[in-house]
Amino acid sequence: MSVDDVDRLADNGPGEHDGDAKPSPSVLLNGLRVLESFSIAEPVLGVTEIARKVDLHKSSVSRMLATLEKAGYVERDEGTGRYRLGLGLIALAGPLLANLDVRRVAQPELEELTRRTGETSALMVWNGHESVVVEQIPSPKQVKHTAAVGTRYDTYASSSVQVFLSEMPQAETERLFDRRLLVGPDEQESRGEYFDELSDTRDRGYAVNDGRTSIEEVGISAPVRDHRGVLVAAVMLSAPRFRVPESMLESLGRAVAESGRRVSARLGAPVATRD
């Protein structure tokens, strides 16, 4: 719901705020109650029915419905004057639905990756300037590396961050570094070298963080794509560095990349052709 929609909705509650005062929370909650009055059993409702359900005056409900209709959150049948939920709600919930769907689809593949490698696997999504853990299958081994769901990674060397940045326009990545929304390369590694690494990540199909952010940990990540071929998540494998010699990095990278392709296939991603 946009700021303008909130203001219009708040205006439908006469006497609850004055002048430049902020919208009353009760007005916003009443708007949500109006939306919640619709159900699978009763997908179409009239003003009188809604007013009875939410215990508000019909005139107040009518004004709220008019605002919600402008925002696309309800639709009015011109013939009957009754309302149903609108497609605007799907757009509003789109980011949440996308994350829930990819988590559900990815979980069995993460479990299989952990079973095959014996190490912790995770699903990562991008929030605009950080990589965030949204699902994790911990290693069954006593010594392991794990991160709680919700953990954020904001360092350029993180393997999952590399995956997301590898498909981002260079100017956008530069902006994140310049605004310090993302920790960028220091003096020991130029940005030019880093962008070359991102190009290698795209070509190889996975990214490696071999002790660069934590000397004790190795991270390997690969892209997950949706039915449009768009990058929507990353599969990550993390392990104690003492268990992953350099000679194992390539085979683990291939395993993570394959896991990412399998999740992508379950999301309907186009099959990549290889030479």
Cβ(232)–Cβ(249) below 8 Å? no
Flag the least confident range among 99-103, 121-125, 262-266. Answer: 99-103
100 — pLDDT class (breaks 50, 70, 90): low
- pLDDT greater than 50 at residue 30: yes
pLDDT for the residue numbered 254: 97
Confidence of residue 218 (pLDDT cuts 50, 70, 90): very high
Residue 187 has pLDDT above 70, yes or no: no
DSSP SS3 for 222 = strand
Among the four given CATH numbers 3.30.450.40, 3.90.1150.10, 3.40.50.300, 3.40.50.720, the one describing domain 97-266: 3.30.450.40
More confident residue, 13 or 90: 90
Residue 222 pLDDT more than 90?
yes
Mean pLDDT of 91-110: 80
pLDDT of the residue at 20: 46
270 — pLDDT class (breaks 50, 70, 90):
confident
pLDDT in tens, 35-47: 999 988 899 999 9
Q: Which residue has the higher pLDDT, 4 or 72?
A: 72
What is the separation of C-alpha 89 from the centre of its chain, rounded to a whole number of angstroms? Answer: 17
Residue (of 80, 79, 48, 74) closest to 61 by Cα position: 48
pTM passes above 0.85: no
Buried b / exposed e across 186-196, counting CB within 10 Å, b at 16+?
Answer: eeeeeeeebbe
Is 1.10.10.10 the CATH classification of the domain at 3-86? yes
Confidence of residue 138 (pLDDT cuts 50, 70, 90): very high
Given this model, what pLDDT does residue 36 score?
93
The pLDDT assigned to 268 comes to 86
Question: How is the chain split into domains, by residue range?
Answer: 3-86, 97-266
Question: What are the DSSP E strand ranges found in 138-248?
Answer: 152-153, 207-210, 217-225, 231-240
What is the average pLDDT across 214-223?
94
On the question of pLDDT at 273 being above 50, the answer is no
One-letter amino acid at 223 equals P
As a whole number, the mean pLDDT across the chain is 87
